[in-house]
A and B are shown apart, each in its own frame.
Chain A
Amino acid sequence: MDKGNSTLTLKRTAGTFRPLALTPSEDLKGYILAHLGRAVLFLIACTSVIAIFLIFLFVIRESVGFLQTESLWGYLSKTGWYPQAEPAKFGSVAIIAGSLYVTAASLAFAVPIGILAAAFLSDIVSFRIRAVVKPVIELLAAIPSVAYGFFAVLILAPFLQKKFGFPTGTNALNASIILAVMALPTIISVAEDSISALGRELREASYSLGATRMETMFKVVIPAAHSGIIAAVVLGMMRAIGETMVVWMASGNAAQIPHPWWDISQSVRTMTATIAGEMGETPKDTSHYYALFMMGVLLLVLTFSLNIVSEYFLSRAKKATGRA
């Protein structure tokens, strides 16, 4: 209705002469509408802020019950996760260590490959091949985590067991390999962005001094783009640390710190897997329930701070390329 009216007025006014200036009432209406619209838009744009706020609020709210019966220090300093024992023990050190362990191991696979692939895409290959390779990486990123988990349990685990003679195929190695594959697309795309954002000048200067491509890459480009690459690694790390289904299905879920520490063929358990595995079967308002939410808070804080780190490096990378 409203629309029809306005088009009518438009047609009528188009025929007649009309001063360019608006009448005061039109002026006021426009002013109010514009500001009202802006306010509404602003509110809707704040959904993300509200969402983050609610996430923190509710996850923390459900976890405070833990502090009434147990100590946070004990939670963070002890090993031994026996939620069903009497009295229950909630020592999450081994679980936090497990999360960090598979994340570190997956980054050890993913970072070198990711940086090499980023260098390949930005500096070496022609535009046409890039257009073929890019979708491959996107498809790797698109495969849902549960499908990776499926692959890890039913195909990779028996393979590892048979080929390498591990006592168990669902172990830290299995989870790390899959996590590396999942973190790779993030690492590649962010690293490639920052490497290719550097521009030709630096590279051409290096080449003109007689450096080979490799030397240019390692001595000029990568140091200059280090902020972006660090951001890429941090983002990949966030992806790995927050991943649930794969580690739940593939890591073996033994709440232990591998001993000796470099033995990657042992089972570990991560924070995400603990929540996923136990939350569904834990009655509400028990200390076990609170303890799992506490783990959620830890994860939230961990990824939130990692996020701030990555933002810092990304903005630095932006500034650096801006200057160059």
Chain B
Amino acid sequence: MKLAGRMILDKTFTTLTALSVLLLSVILLVVLGPMIYRGSGAVIFRGTVEFRKMQMGLFERGDAEALDAEIAQAQEVRDAVYRQIDEFRQGIDTEELNEKARKIHREFGGELRSNGITGDEYSELRSLTKDIRDKLEEASESQDKALIRRNIEDVLEHQDDDRLKGTLAAGFFPLAANFSKAVENADLAKLSQYTEAIEQVEDILRQLFGPKPGEPTPALARMRYGATRCDQAQILLGKLLWIEKWVQTEPGKPLEKIKTPRSEQFAGTPLESLPGFVEKNLAKMLRPRLTFYWQYFIDDSYNSHYFGGVGPEILGTLLITVLGMLFAIPLGLVSAAYLVECASDNLAVKIIRMCINSLAGVPSIVFGLFGLAFFVLYLLPTFGLPSQGCILAASLTLAILTLPVMIRASEEAIRSVPQTYKEASLALGASRFRTFVTVTLPAALPGILTGIILSLSRIAGETAPILFTGAVALGPVPKSVFQPTRTLSYGSYDMAVGDRVAMMVPHNQYGMVVTLVVLILLLNGMAIMLRGRVFKKLQGR
């Protein structure tokens, strides 16, 4: 009985340990999975014609002719939307209507005179157009539908009047027709609301399709193009189809979000069908196509990462890490060689070991402080250089940070070379130095390489040490090592919390951090594989 209890406890324990390891794998999946899924959207997505337009406009990439043809096809369908809106707007814009009517009447007189029409005919026609104008004006200012209809009918009666055909006065009739069409079923009390609603619709359309043809090119690159991606377009379409409002349902409780279809806003007007039309024809207007945007990894970005990729960030990260490793590798290798080959167990070596361990324990942010105080504020001005964060300062800081990792890995690798190798070489008369360089080092090389890759991946992801020593969120591609640079790690931080535009482009937000993570995981995968091979080799012996 007691034994059974013990066995159950034992089984529970075993299960718990297994669960704890399972938990680790789950954590790895939970952290990486959603991130990589969303980040991959920066590279693989359904790109619209606007995306291809942007690629052509900003990066001069793509087939210009095919693109023009595609734009023309899309524009044809889009124009139908714009036309509907324009007609309706003209119809309800009574001020503009009145102004136009007055202008026609005014200029009609001049036209008549220049056509040589004078006398009675002149005054008759003038009074006719004056009459039309007044009727239109009266109609446009009225809220009485019967009156409007009567007036418009009166105006349109003159449509067949031969004397007006082909003259400026013929311009009255489309005005009247547009107006009557617009207000036919509309609620006249709502006319001013329509104007506002149209503005909203046009704003959404601008985000969907970019600026209207004929509008001036905006200064900001991100205003120049519409929705470049299908997922963006779907969100915008949602905004076009539905109006969101926060409404108080119960007093003393938080407001609730309520959605109403936008077509209700335009009930009875020709625009009622517009949202539906856009929804049905969205694919024709944007022509989405599965896009593999591998240039994401080399492109510069526009408007704080709204468009483009992470090219400069990758470059900056590589620059800083490789330069850092250039300092760290020789120092680490020699230190390790000394500790293994030359050092006896005296006080000096004990101190060195203690310092290496302490160095490994120093918090990364303190390395940042040190880099700021020593390299940026002390060393650079001493050499007469501008005292600002730069690639050199950042990479030196990182080199010191990674030194312990480098030393430990190399030491282990050198130590694992069988003693017999060295003895054989020494017995052949080679000096200790020669033995080390020609026998020990090559044998330890895979292990050292593993250490190098691990150090590289460690410093590529560090953010805190380079905060004050050489990283900027936005800036030009550096031309010398004395300039600051963008990096993937600092960029990821900035995109996560510091960048307003980034919130609008989650794919780029995740794309940046995923690029960093994938880069580091690749490096680590390489190191793990390399070590596996070394291990097998050692086992085989």
- Do A and B have CB atoms closer than 8 angstroms in the complex? yes
Chain A residues at the B interface, C-beta cutoff of 8 Å: 30, 34, 37-38, 41-42, 44-49, 51-52, 54-55, 58-59, 61-62, 112-113, 116-117, 119-121, 124-125, 133, 135-140, 142-151, 153-155, 181, 184, 212-215, 217, 235, 238, 241-245, 249, 272, 275-276, 279-280, 284, 292-293, 296, 299-300, 303-304, 306-307, 310-311
Q: Mark B326-347, 1 if CB is under 8 A from A, else 0.
A: 0000110011011100110000
Asked if B7 and A212 make an inter-chain contact with CB atoms under 8 angstroms apart, the answer reads: yes
Contact of B468 among A145, A184, A280, A307 (CB under 8 A): A280
A-B contact pairs, 25 of them (CB 8 A): A44-B331, A44-B334, A45-B334, A45-B339, A47-B331, A47-B403, A48-B352, A54-B370, A55-B367, A55-B370, A136-B21, A137-B24, A142-B461, A143-B517, A144-B460, A144-B516, A145-B364, A145-B464, A146-B492, A146-B493, A153-B496, A215-B6, A217-B13, A241-B363, A280-B468
For A293, list chain B residues within 8 Å (CB): 369, 373
User: For chain B, which range describes its interface: under 10, 10 to 19, 20 to 34, or 35 or more residues?
Assistant: 35 or more
- Distance to closest chain A CB from B471 (angstroms): 10
Does B504 interact with chain A (Cβ within 8 Å)? no
For A121, list chain B residues within 8 Å (CB): 21
For A238, list chain B residues within 8 Å (CB): 361
Q: Mark B354-386, 1 if CB is under 8 A from A, else 0.
A: 111111011111111110111001100000000
The answer for the CA separation of A21 and B363 in the assembled complex, in Å, is 54
Does B467 interact with chain A (Cβ within 8 Å)? yes
- Distance to closest chain B CB from A66 (angstroms): 13
For A235, list chain B residues within 8 Å (CB): 361
Helix, strand, loop or mixed for chain A's interface?
Answer: helix
For B517, list chain A residues within 8 Å (CB): 143-144, 147
Asked if A145 and B461 make an inter-chain contact with CB atoms under 8 angstroms apart, the answer reads: yes
For B200, list chain A residues within 8 Å (CB): none
- Distance to closest chain A CB from B13 (angstroms): 4
Given A38-B342, A145-B461, the answer on whether A140 and B373 have CB atoms closer than 8 Å is: no
For A30, list chain B residues within 8 Å (CB): 431
Asked if A124 and B17 make an inter-chain contact with CB atoms under 8 angstroms apart, the answer reads: yes
Q: Which of B28-36, B97-105, B210-218, B298-306 is the interface stretch?
A: B28-36
Asked if A59 and B369 make an inter-chain contact with CB atoms under 8 angstroms apart, the answer reads: yes
Asked if A249 and B496 make an inter-chain contact with CB atoms under 8 angstroms apart, the answer reads: yes
The answer for the CA separation of A142 and B341 in the assembled complex, in Å, is 31
Given A119-B17, A139-B521, A213-B10, the answer on whether A44 and B338 have CB atoms closer than 8 Å is: yes
The answer for the CA separation of A142 and B459 in the assembled complex, in Å, is 10
Residue of B nearest to A188 (CB): B24
- Distance to closest chain A CB from B363 (angstroms): 3
Asked if B338 and A181 make an inter-chain contact with CB atoms under 8 angstroms apart, the answer reads: no
Residue of B nearest to A120 (CB): B17
Please provide the chain B residues from 436 to 489 with a CB less than 8 Å away from any CB of chain A in the complex.
457-458, 460-464, 467-468, 489
Asked if A213 and B13 make an inter-chain contact with CB atoms under 8 angstroms apart, the answer reads: yes
The answer for the CA separation of A37 and B355 in the assembled complex, in Å, is 22
Asked if A242 and B35 make an inter-chain contact with CB atoms under 8 angstroms apart, the answer reads: no
Asked if B9 and A58 make an inter-chain contact with CB atoms under 8 angstroms apart, the answer reads: no
Scoring A120, A136, A241 by chain B CB atoms within 10 A of each residue's CB, the highest score goes to A120
Asked if A214 and B32 make an inter-chain contact with CB atoms under 8 angstroms apart, the answer reads: no
Residue of B nearest to A247 (CB): B365
- Distance to closest chain B CB from A297 (angstroms): 9
The answer for the CA separation of A292 and B363 in the assembled complex, in Å, is 14
For B334, list chain A residues within 8 Å (CB): 41, 44-45
For B25, list chain A residues within 8 Å (CB): 133, 136
Given A58-B373, A136-B24, A144-B460, the answer on whether A272 and B358 have CB atoms closer than 8 Å is: no
Asked if A242 and B361 make an inter-chain contact with CB atoms under 8 angstroms apart, the answer reads: yes
Chain B residues at the A interface, C-beta cutoff of 8 Å: 6-7, 9-10, 12-14, 16-21, 23-25, 27-28, 31-32, 34-35, 330-331, 334-335, 337-339, 342-343, 348, 351-352, 354-359, 361-370, 372-374, 377-378, 400, 403-404, 407, 431-433, 457-458, 460-464, 467-468, 489-490, 492-493, 496-497, 509, 513, 516-517, 520-521, 524, 528
Given A49-B355, A51-B359, A120-B21, the answer on whether A147 and B516 have CB atoms closer than 8 Å is: yes
Q: How many residue pairs bridge A and B at CB < 8 Å? A: 249
For B367, list chain A residues within 8 Å (CB): 55
Asked if A144 and B497 make an inter-chain contact with CB atoms under 8 angstroms apart, the answer reads: no
Contact of A117 among B17, B31, B361, B528 (CB under 8 A): B17
Closest 9 A-B residue pairs measured CB to CB?
A144-B461, A242-B363, A120-B17, A214-B13, A212-B10, A244-B464, A45-B338, A116-B20, A58-B373
- Distance to closest chain A CB from B465 (angstroms): 9
Asked if A147 and B513 make an inter-chain contact with CB atoms under 8 angstroms apart, the answer reads: yes
Asked if A143 and B496 make an inter-chain contact with CB atoms under 8 angstroms apart, the answer reads: no
Asked if B462 and A144 make an inter-chain contact with CB atoms under 8 angstroms apart, the answer reads: yes
- Distance to closest chain A CB from B70 (angstroms): 35
The answer for the CA separation of A150 and B24 in the assembled complex, in Å, is 19
Asked if A146 and B461 make an inter-chain contact with CB atoms under 8 angstroms apart, the answer reads: yes
The answer for the CA separation of A177 and B306 in the assembled complex, in Å, is 32
Asked if B356 and A48 make an inter-chain contact with CB atoms under 8 angstroms apart, the answer reads: yes
Asked if B528 and A147 make an inter-chain contact with CB atoms under 8 angstroms apart, the answer reads: no
Residue of B nearest to A55 (CB): B370
Contact of B361 among A45, A243, A284, A304 (CB under 8 A): A304
The answer for the CA separation of A292 and B468 in the assembled complex, in Å, is 13
Asked if B365 and A48 make an inter-chain contact with CB atoms under 8 angstroms apart, the answer reads: no
Scoring A52, A235, A310 by chain B CB atoms within 10 A of each residue's CB, the highest score goes to A52
The answer for the CA separation of A286 and B458 in the assembled complex, in Å, is 33
Given A116-B17, A121-B21, A137-B24, the answer on whether A59 and B366 have CB atoms closer than 8 Å is: yes
Given A45-B338, A48-B335, A135-B528, the answer on whether A296 and B369 have CB atoms closer than 8 Å is: yes
- Distance to closest chain B CB from A44 (angstroms): 4
